[in-house]
Amino acid sequence: MQPFMIIGNGRELVGLCGGFQMLGWEVTDPHSAETGGASMGFGMLDIKTELAEEKHTVQVTARSLLVENG
C-alpha cells in the first residue's frame, strides 16, 4: 500500500504514520499500546488499522516520485 493517493489536478495527499492510519476507516488499539479504544478515520483509503500489543518505531527518509527532482 502506498502512503499517498492522487487527488484532483495530479496533486498528492500524503499521510505518514498516524496521518496515514487516519486516512483509512478506523484505528483500533485493543491492547492499549497507546490510549486504547477506537477512532474513526476519514475513509479515504480502504484500510482499517489495529495497533499491535508491542510498538516498534523507526526513522525513515522519503521523497516524492511525483515531483520533478523530488
Range of the domain at 25: 1-70
Beta bridge partners of 39: 27
Greatest C-alpha distance within the chain: 43
Separation of alpha carbons 64 and 55, rounded Å: 27
The count of domains in the chain is: 1
Length of the chain in terms of residues written: 70
27, three cell numbers:
484505528
Separation of alpha carbons 62 and 42, rounded Å: 24
Q: pLDDT tens digit string along 21-50? A: 999 999 999 999 988 999 999 998 889 999
Give the predicted TM-score (pTM) of the model. 0.66
Q: What is the β-pairing status of strands 26-29 and 48-50?
A: parallel
Q: pLDDT tens digit string along 4-20? A: 566 667 777 778 888 88
Quote the pLDDT of residue 70.
46
